[in-house]
Structure formats: C-alpha cells, structure tokens
Structure 1
Amino acid sequence: MIIFRMRKKVQMDDLNDENLQKKPVVVLTRLPEFTLNALQPPTPQQFDSEAESPDSSDSDMLWEPEDDSGDSDFGAKKKSQHSHKMANDVNVPSPLVSSNNNSTSNSSVCNNDINSGSKDSNKAAEAAPIIVSAAFASNSNETRKERPDFPEMAIALDMVVLARRRVMRWQQGKIVEIINKDDGRVKYKVIFDEKGKSLVSGHHIAKKTNPKLDQLYVGARVLIQSPEDEQCFLSGLLAELPSRKNRLRFLVFLDDHTPVYVSLPSLYLICRQMADPLEDLIDGPHKCFMEQYLRSWPYPHLTHYKEGQTLKIELNGVHQKCQVESVDCSLMKVVFEENGETDWIHRGSLRLEHMSKFLELKQTPEPKADNSDSK
C-alpha cells in the first residue's frame, strides 16, 4: 500500500515538472520596410511623394527596397518586382494610377529593349534606369496647369519694369511711352537703366515685383535673375509648383533648356501671357521637349538614377559618358568623364540617351497586319 502511494506521488510530481509543460513562445520576425508600407493605407504624405522617406524628400533612394540579409523569404528577383510595384501602386493615389496605366508597360518595353543590347551583364552601373510616369501630386494647387482667372496686370507710364532687350537678356527699365497701333496692338517704349531703349509688347514686360502664388501655374512665362549678372534677367517656363516632392520650390526651364529650382522671391511674372506659351521659343529640341512636357503634365516621364551610376548625355550634338554625382528631386548633377565638367539636367530631358530611346519607342507606330491574299 505504501508502494502504490509513492508511485502516484512520483507521477504527480512529473506532471508538475516545468520542463515537461508547454509554454507559449512569441517569435518576432522583422518584415522589410516595403512590405510594411504595402500593408498600410495611403496617407496624405504618400500622396505628395512618389516614394518619400521620413528624413529626406529625395525619392530616388526608395525605388528599390533595402537589402535585408536576414530576410530569407524574399530573393533578389522578388525584391525587384516589389520595388517596381511599390513605386507605381502604393505611393500614388489609386485614381491617378488608373489614369496612367500605360506608363508601366512603356517603361518595361524601353528597359527590355535597352537591356537586350547589352552584352555585359556585370556592368551594373550602366544598367538601364527605371522610367516612370507617376503623378506629380494629388493637390490641384500643386499641379495647376490652366491660367488662373485673374485680370491682366496693368502697365502704366513711368512704371519700373523688366523688359526684353534681346533673346535671353532682360533688363530693368522704365516705360516712357505707350503706343497704340492701328491694328489694335499696344507697344511700350522702355528706356533701360544701363542706357539704350527698346519698343516691346506686353509679352516682353514683367513687373519688378514678385507675383502671388495663386497667380502662377505650370506653363507660365516667368523671369529669374541671372546668377552671373545681377543686372540681367533670364526668361523661361514654369515647370513645377511648390510641393513636398520638390521641397517647396519652383522649377523653371530657361529658354536655353537649363533647369533650375528657385524660390518665390526669385520669380517675376510676365505681364501678358501668350495663348501658346511656346510661341516665344526657338524651334529646336528644347521646344519639342517643353511641348511634350506640358502635354504629359502632371505625369512627367522621369528616369531614376542613383549616385555613382554611369549614363550617356548629349553634349554638343554627341552622347558622352558621364556619372551621376547627386540627385535633387527632378534634377540630377552629372560629371562628364572626358573633361570633368559638371551639369545639372532634368531627369526627363531628351538629352538623356535612355529617355530619347524611350520616347522614340513610344512614338513608333505599330506595324499594320497585311491581310492581302498571297499568291
């Protein structure tokens, strides 16, 4: 009887042994950043940026997910696929994506065509970039393309203005006479501060005061002060309004195709805007680019390069090899290998070899099927 009780006690002790009892264990697995973003609903901050990190407004670093060696569930191929999908589907509002479905397919065609001509797959630095056509922003105040319904700016005698003296050179002067032509046109005689005078139209006069933000729109003719000469002002077209994507700056394409970011105090609005903003531009590549740019806005085509990546850019009529030194929103600074010169260029410029090829493929008509009976 005593023996039986001892055995029973042993069995009960075994059941109370901590080593034999099951305990719940929580295993934490760190998911990649792009997976977390995909699970979260779009936020206003995501609407204002193609792929914007919390500590930087430069969107180019997030087009490919970070390499997490501890995550064995996603290989290199899957990471590339998720990167391309994230850039086009997650960080842009769905209504804007639906109105721009052709951009992804065109990008794929362009990249496949360029990559097929490359024989050395080890040259990662020369790989073709991603070309996207994502919405610039969702706020109408940031994408405004139509001219606001404001009365024309008054031009009066003795007014201090900025007037065109010759192409790409505007200077400060004073209106001394207003001439009404028989055909209804109005001309203004301007005497410049640095001697000389000129007879110009309202299309070639700007007030020497900064405009209000609600007067500006993409495609407006504007002036900026020349960085090389304080007495000279340069004409151009407004290409971007302030937003989180460009760090609250204005992008201006000067009439010589030079892109530059400026703030509101550096802008001057031309008094009489032309019905066709391209009318003042000389026929050539820049005019063709601006026509395509305004037509596609607010879905501009942009190539995505990384710092250190090599590419070819047209310079003096020839595509020359260069390297990306830095990226600033829609612009990037490149260094030409041949002479070490630097240049700022728009990431959608036709000077980019990949962009020019992309647009050529996009504009090439599809061959028609021959339905005639063969004999």
Structure 2
Amino acid sequence: MEVDEMETRMPELQESRKRVKTKKRTEPYEERDDDENMSDSPCGSVPSTTETPGKETQLEDGSDSLSVIKKAVVVLTRLPEYKISALRPPTPQQFYSEDDSKTAKHAKNDTTRNNNNNNNEPGPIIISSAFAHCSNETTKVRPNLPEEELKVDMMVLARKRSMRWQRGKIVDIVTREDGRLKYKVSFEEKGKSLVSGHHIAFDTTPKLEQLYVGARVVVRCQDNKFRFRPGVLSELPSRKNRLRFLVFLDDHTPVYVGLPLFHLVCRPQENVLDDIPDSPHKSFMTQYLKDWPYPHLTQYRVGQALNVELNGSQQRCEVQVVDCSIMQVIFLENQQKEWIHRGSMRLEHMARFLEMKAEERNGDSD
C-alpha cells in the first residue's frame, strides 16, 4: 500500500498580535472519496493508521503563526493481470508456451471440421508450433566435424539383424573393388558379420556437439543391456521434454532416453532414412523431419478414449499417461499397453487431419 497524497491545511493568519488561546477545531477532517480508485480492488478499503492532532496550536510570541496539518490517505491499487500471473507459482508439467496455446486455438477449427461427429466425441486440438526456442535446439543439420577414425581392435556396436544390434570388435577392414570399406566385426555373443560403416556405431557416449535432429543412432534395450535397436534422433533436450532425447526406433516406437543410453552411427548415409525399410514409419519420419521444428501434435488428456491403428485396423484405446510428446495407451480389447507419439499417423484423429490437409493442398493446386 502507498501513501497517495498528503493534504495540507492552511489556517488563516491571525490579524491580531495579541495572545489568543488555543482554539478547538469544530469542523471534522475532510475525508477523500476514493470510491473510484477502489472500485476494482479485490478487498475493501483499510483505514489509515496515521492520525494528526485534532487541535491547531497558535504561537504565543506575538508573531504571525502558520500551522501545517498533514493527513495520510492510504489507497489500494489493483495490480494488472500480468503482474498477478507472474506472482503465481508455475503449474506442474507446464511444457507449452503461450505461443503454443495461440497456435492451438487456430488449429481448433480445423480439428473440429475433421471430427465428422465420430460418436459425438470431440477430437483433440492439433498444434503445430516451434518445439524449441534456441537455434541449437531446433537444428537438424549435421555438424561439420571431423570423422572419428575406425581401427582394428576397436569396440563398436554392429548390426546383426534389422532390429538387433550387438557389441563386438572390429577384427578386419576390407576394401572393396569400388573403394568402399567393409568392417568385419566379431560379436561378444559369438558370430561374425561383414558390415558397412552405416551399420556400426561407436561404443562410446556421444558428445553434445555431435548431436542433431535426424542423426542416426542405436539405443540400448531396457530389458537387455547387451542388445541395441536402431533409430533416428527426433528431439534434443529442452524445457518441453524435461531435458531428454526423443528417439524414434525403426519399428515406430518412440522412447525418451538419456545421453548414456544411445550411440551415434559411425558413417551414416547421406539420407539416414535410406536405412529404414519402405513402410508407413518411413513415410512418417520423412514428413516429421520435413516439418521440424514444427511437428504436428495432438493434445489428449488422461482417460480420453480414441482409436489407434493396430495390425491394420483401428482399435479402441484409452490414454493412460501423457509424457511430453508421447503417450501410453491401453487397447481395450486385449489390455495391451503401448507408447505412441502424439503426432503418429496411427492416431485416427491425426490421420484424418493429414488427409484434410492433403485435400486442401490438392484443391489449391487445381
């Protein structure tokens, strides 16, 4: 609270130089009407705690007397809404910025048209906004760094089957007639393979300056620390994903991992998606990297029912957990649980949204 003003009272000068007795005030203090200033205040007015004496005392030495009486007035001022919001503690799991919310509002109309009154259930809002706010968080350009040398007796991770990589040692480096290098790897769990540079990964933890969205990586399996699965790095750590890395495995499974859990492929192909077999997942990753850093994301809440594609048909699910860009759903028919990206084309709402966008593009081109 602030002292808004000080009222100064100026009594008349006494004409006579004669001694006058102290005269008692007969008029009450003038009260300021602050109703206008207080009308917006969330609480009532508070009386002032500063009182001035109720008597005016004249000097007795015969000189002109001047008496100043000050009155403190307390005024409550309502804070602007933005200041009130700034004083409130942040809500938990607040991952989306104000810009995201604005974008979500713009996307709401498109999503509503896309629902087609499916069981009278409202579809989710689909947003497409910058996933990060710093250039080093949004980059998808491979950094121009010198390649690390691959040598005999070096421990690496190598491809044994399409979704199964294992730790092994380079025992020989073979140069083909066309100049390409092949690496002979002896696996720890027995067996040997002759693989290309894009089918081996470093056994060491990658450095942050080596990482970018679209990097080819392999991730250690949680249920077997000796096995690894290939994927594509799809999010760098930011405030929106609790400082974790998102990796899309080649079977379309999204996983959040820490830095020690994944490894960089040694000699990735110019187009990392060439390592992924032709499939809906490859189409999804192509579009995802094209859209980055503005990926489409649906917004679901825990307990919400939805349809998700499984084995070629849409199955009824319920949202169990929402974790940043991914969510866990449970299929009601067999109680199977699965993690899925909130922008996956397996989501019925997202598939319809993308179809609608494709139709709009085709209509504009006609």
In structure 2, the residue matched to 1:23 is 33
For 1:23-102, list aligned pairs within 5 A: 23-25=33-35, 26=38, 27-29=40-42, 36=82, 54-59=90-95, 87-88=101-102
Amino acid at match of 1:24: D
Match 2:223 to one of 218, 222, 228: 228
Q: 3-state SS of the aligned residue for 1:278?
A: helix
Q: What is the distance in 1 between the residues matched to 2:293 and 2:323?
A: 19
CA contact (8 A) 2:114 2:352 kept: no
CA distance 1:129–1:172, shift in 2 (3 Å): same
Q: 3-state SS of the aligned residue for 2:148?
A: coil
For 1:90-169, list aligned pairs within 5 A: 108-114=109-115, 116-118=116-118, 120=120, 126-169=121-164
Match 1:324 to one of 311, 316, 319: 319
CA distance 1:17–1:57, shift in 2 (3 Å): same
Residue 119 of structure 1, CA deviation? 6.3
CA contact (8 A) 2:128 2:297 kept: yes
Q: What is the distance in 1 between the residues matched to 2:297 and 2:83?
A: 23
Determine whether 1:361 maps to 2:356. yes
Residue 203 of structure 1, CA deviation? 0.4
Q: 3-state SS of the aligned residue for 1:152?
A: coil
Residue 88 of structure 1, CA deviation? 2.4
Which structure is higher in helix share? 1
CA contact (8 A) 1:224 1:233 kept: yes
CA contact (8 A) 2:126 2:296 kept: yes
Determine whether 1:270 maps to 2:284. no
Q: What is the distance in 1 between the residues matched to 2:29 and 2:162?
A: 93
TM-score w.r.t. length of structure 2? 0.75
Match 1:175 to one of 163, 170, 175: 170
Q: What is the distance in 2 between the residues matched to 1:57 and 1:325?
A: 16
Q: Which has the larger radius of gyration?
A: 2
Amino acid at match of 2:101: A
CA contact (8 A) 1:57 1:244 kept: no
Determine whether 1:207 maps to 2:217. no
Q: What is the distance in 2 between the residues matched to 1:105 and 1:86?
A: 10
Q: 3-state SS of the aligned residue for 1:184?
A: coil
Q: 3-state SS of the aligned residue for 2:165?
A: strand
Structure 1, residues 290-331: CA drift from partner, whole Å, max 9, x if none?
000000000000001111211111111111111111211101
Q: 3-state SS of the aligned residue for 1:108?
A: helix
Q: What is the distance in 1 between the residues matched to 2:365 and 2:269?
A: 44
Structure 1: runs of 5+ lacking an equivalent: 1-11, 41-52, 64-84, 90-102, 121-125, 371-375
Residue 140 of structure 1, CA deviation? 1.2
Q: 3-state SS of the aligned residue for 1:273?
A: coil
Aligned-residue Cα RMSD (Å) equals 2.8
CA distance 1:206–1:37, shift in 2 (3 Å): farther
In structure 2, the residue matched to 1:123 is none
CA contact (8 A) 1:190 1:200 kept: yes
Q: What is the distance in 1 between the residues matched to 2:338 and 2:42?
A: 45
Q: What is the distance in 2 between the residues matched to 1:189 and 1:143?
A: 36
Bigger RCO (CA 8 Å, 6+ sep): 1
- Percentage of pairs with the same residue: 51
Which structure is higher in strand share? 2
Residue 368 of structure 1, CA deviation? 7.5
Residue 184 of structure 1, CA deviation? 1.1
Residue 105 of structure 1, CA deviation? 5.6
In structure 2, the residue matched to 1:237 is 232
Q: What is the distance in 1 between the residues matched to 2:100 and 2:236?
A: 25
CA distance 1:301–1:86, shift in 2 (3 Å): closer
Structure 2: runs of 5+ lacking an equivalent: 1-24, 44-80
Q: What is the distance in 2 between the residues matched to 1:138 and 1:112?
A: 31
CA distance 1:119–1:316, shift in 2 (3 Å): closer
Q: What is the distance in 1 between the residues matched to 2:200 and 2:180?
A: 14
Match 2:292 to one of 291, 297, 306: 297
Q: 3-state SS of the aligned residue for 1:279?
A: helix
Residue 228 of structure 1, CA deviation? 1.8
Q: What is the distance in 2 between the residues matched to 1:269 and 1:367?
A: 42
Structure 1, residues 70-104: CA drift from partner, whole Å, max 9, x if none?
xxxxxxxxxxxxxxx87126xxxxxxxxxxxxx87
Instruction: State the number of aligned residues.
Output: 300
Amino acid at match of 2:113: N
